[in-house]
Amino acid sequence: MIVIDQFHKIPKLTSMKAFALLISLISMTAQAQTPTQGQIIRLWDGAAPLALGDNPHDVPKITCYPANQETSTGHAIIVCPGGGYGALAQHEGADYALWLNQQGIHAFVLQYRLGKHQYRHPSMLNDAARAVRLVRHHATTWGVKKVGIMGSSAGGHLASTLLTHFDSGQASAPDAIDRQPSKPDFGILCYPVINLSDDAVTHKGSRNYLLGEKPTAEMLKFLSNETQVTPATPPTFLWHTADDAGVPVANSLLFASSLARHKVPHELHIYRSGRHGIGLATKDYLDPTKVHPWATECRRWLQEIGIGKADKLQPK
């Protein structure tokens, strides 16, 4: 009704201009409200930068999983599913989001553009950065204080890329969302791809989808994210399995070593065994007795870095 009232107060505009303004007001009103469970929000109102078309896979977006208002800690995480930059794994997206909700944390699952659809860097990084900016832009109305990023496998590479290639925003940007910084407040990396330059360490499928089959040596180093860590890199939680046959554990070891060298607060867990892409290791992810031990350790770590109070982070 408020939007309609505003619409009727603009009699001098042509009908087409009035209609366009009405659509814009509806969009702004929808995004200003606290998002609902499963609500999908486009990262850009129009075409995304470097878009190759207007099909669903050309439109990066987030799916919202807000925590219960009564138990919310007031913090949020952008979740980047894995899939080798060629797909998006459900169990590393929606499943993580619902588990995070049980910890009192708002979750936003990112549908970023994929190499399978001919997208290459920096499209994926643009999408992750925009997701952080978007949540920050709506922080007051959405009840968000800090924004972290979480990723698994290739999604872990994307998360680690934003953890090391963030910016402070464009102060003079006409789009208010672009004025927000893209630096996450913290990161969670689950069996991540980190190094792209060493054939014995990297995941070649992710590398090819991200950069094509003939990337330059400079670009390989630039996106081998262990080489990009600085003292400004946000606190990070990492975990991996020692016998991961898809993405070697060396990836997490390299990143953790670089974090230690630059004195960045971090925590690393290496588990003896477990297949690649294990996720929470159970379909009953809301039962704290069944999830993989990394989830319990991550919950404790989140408490320790001040993302939520212990009493609010206990599962129901």
Comparing CA positions, the residue from 240, 311, 305, 302 lying closest to residue 106 is 302
Domain check: are 1 and 48 in the same one?
no
What residues of the chain score a pLDDT lower than 70? 1-32, 283, 285-286, 308-316
Domain check: are 281 and 299 in the same one?
yes
Q: What is the pLDDT of residue 285?
A: 65
pTM of the predicted structure, to 2 decimals: 0.87
Q: Which residues of 133-155 are buried (b: 16+ CB within 10 A; e: fewer)?
A: bbbbbbbeebbbebbbbbbbbbb
Q: How far is CA 37 from CA 51, 81, 97, 153, in A?
A: 27, 18, 10, 25
Domain check: are 136 and 282 in the same one?
yes
Q: What is the pLDDT of residue 274?
A: 87
Structure tokens at 97: 């989001």
Domain check: are 122 and 241 in the same one?
yes
Q: Are 35 and 66 in contact (CB under 8 A)?
A: yes
Q: What is the pLDDT of residue 287?
A: 73
Q: What is the pLDDT of residue 286?
A: 66
Give the whole-angstrom CA distance, residue 102 versus residue 244. 28
Domain check: are 234 and 86 in the same one?
yes
DSSP per residue, 188-226: EEES----SS-TTTS-HHHHHHHH-SS--HHHHHHT-GG
Comparing CA positions, the residue from 106, 73, 95 lying closest to residue 287 is 95
Structural domains in the chain (count):
2
Domain check: are 161 and 22 in the same one?
no
Domain check: are 12 and 55 in the same one?
no
Residue 10's domain spans which residues? 1-32
Q: How far is CA 75 from CA 67, 78, 143, in A?
A: 9, 11, 8
**Does an H or E element contain 90, and which?**
none
Domain check: are 8 and 126 in the same one?
no
Model pLDDT for residues 206-232, shown as the tens digit of each residue: 999 999 999 999 999 999 999 999 999
Domain check: are 97 and 20 in the same one?
no
Domain check: are 18 and 43 in the same one?
no
Q: Are 262 and 249 in contact (CB under 8 A)?
A: no
Q: What's 281's domain CATH number? A: 3.40.50.1820
Strand spans (E) along the chain: 40-42, 61-65, 75-80, 106-111, 146-152, 187-190, 236-241, 266-271
Give the whole-angstrom CA distance, residue 241 versus residue 259. 19
Domain check: are 267 and 234 in the same one?
yes
Domain check: are 214 and 280 in the same one?
yes
Give the whole-angstrom CA distance, residue 28 versus residue 212. 37
Q: What is the pLDDT of residue 308?
A: 59
Give the whole-angstrom CA distance, residue 92 versus residue 130. 20
Structure tokens at 26: 């509806």
